[in-house]
Structure 1
């Protein structure tokens, strides 16, 4: 019901109520109210209730607007707490929380991704370039995720993924796809120079019988093996 209909409804109720009360009083012996005063009652009830109802309806609409705005801001705050602002991936805490909820399911694989020589971007081109590289890598990772997958930023230039419902061959294919997507990135530095990034990726199957940290540790060891083995490659946990 719109504001105008609400006001008309409330004013009508006020007028009808006034008429009923006047009729009851008029029925009492010695309290007869002439019919011409009923018009005065209608006028008084309408003139008093209309602005009051208008203010009440307006206040109610304002309260509803403020409530919606508050709910939207709370949703935005929850999203900011869950999402890393630079990469658009899950924060570390949120990733571990959500990945832990599905850790009991078989067919999960964990990927640890580290951008190669990331310090050089900051040292040679400035932190703005480093941030731009992180943003671009985050976008490439997000594009590779399915709705059932999870991707997060552990911190700095390290990323973590949990890909679900796939075998070793499919997990390896997707890891290679992510590696190739990062290698294909072209990021423009503030100086105008185009910089390129590569990443080393470690991959490990999730073991529902062990804590999630154990699987991630194995993927982390594989990622360091990829780095020591020449970088820009995917390595499986032993």
Structure 2
């Protein structure tokens, strides 16, 4: 089959080698083509000056055209290199519109897609590492990273920061009598109630089997106590079959952090308040005043 001009042009668009070959061929032969056109136009060849001028002009034009076309051919790689540097420095996603169909276009698209897949995988892994798979709430590891951030923000804003620890009452008995599936349903129902009750900037994490922690920015001890009481009442009316009505209850410990408290001290004070709530009969809220440990 004899290739037509259309098929040859299509091959050029899809082959970097064909583009480079065509560019170099044109640049090398442009002086010869210029001389042929010069002679074919009937100009005199008795004086070498015009002939040399045509040769030099055609050589310069061919060189400039060759360099410009090669610069255009490799432009996607330059854009990709800058995008990757920006991604490495700032984590910005790579967004490139690639219409080229040659090898450079194929490689560029492949790299962009691979980076997008790696970023999606890393995002999924970060989510898995920082969240509880059963409840969807954050986990203790994420909480340990987040509390110092919220403390620093509270210090800058000179605003209160409170913590609530709560523990489901007699949760082991639910697992022992009704099975772990029922226990899982209780944990999921409680987590859903927590998500529905908190504000968008509040933080909720499951930090143990049946133990949860809430970090409440811009919230005083009194306000946190109201929130804890509202959650306590919400849990009391949860319906999780086959448990009887009112079986899901929790004990709450509330503590408003001092500016000098470390994360460990915040959790320790909240845990002391939680212990006092359990000692007081469970299914209740206890708020601890700021006192030295």
TM-score with structure 2 setting the length: 0.63
Secondary structure (helix, strand or coil) at the match of 1:109 reads: strand
- Equivalence for 2:89: none
- Equivalence for 2:266: 215
d(CA) in 1 for partners of 2:276, 2:210: 17
- Equivalence for 1:116: 169
1:101 aligns with 2:101: no
d(CA) in 2 for partners of 1:224, 1:64: 53
Query: Does structure 1 conserve the Cα–Cα contact (< 8 Å) formed by 2:164 and 2:224?
Result: no
1:202 aligns with 2:250: no
Farther off after superposition, 109-118 or 85-94: 85-94
Q: What are the equivalent positions in structure 2 for 1:20-169 lying under 5 Å apart?
A: 20-26=27-33, 54-104=102-152, 105=154, 106-169=159-222
Q: RCO higher in 1 or 2 (8 Å CA, sep ≥ 6)? A: 1
d(CA) in 2 for partners of 1:123, 1:101: 39
Larger Rg over CA atoms: 2
Query: Does structure 2 conserve the Cα–Cα contact (< 8 Å) formed by 1:7 and 1:57?
Result: no
| Per-residue deviation, 1:63 | 2.8
Instruction: Give CA-to-partner distance per residue, 1:111-164, whole Å, 9 cap, x none.
Output: 011000100111011111111211221222222222322211111111111101
d(CA) in 1 for partners of 2:243, 2:22: 76
d(CA) in 2 for partners of 1:203, 1:148: 18
Structure 1: which 5+ residue stretches go unaligned?
Answer: 33-48
Query: Does structure 1 conserve the Cα–Cα contact (< 8 Å) formed by 2:163 and 2:266?
Result: yes
d(CA) in 1 for partners of 2:189, 2:114: 37
Aligned length: 210
Farther off after superposition, 204-213 or 10-19: 10-19
TM-score with structure 1 setting the length: 0.76
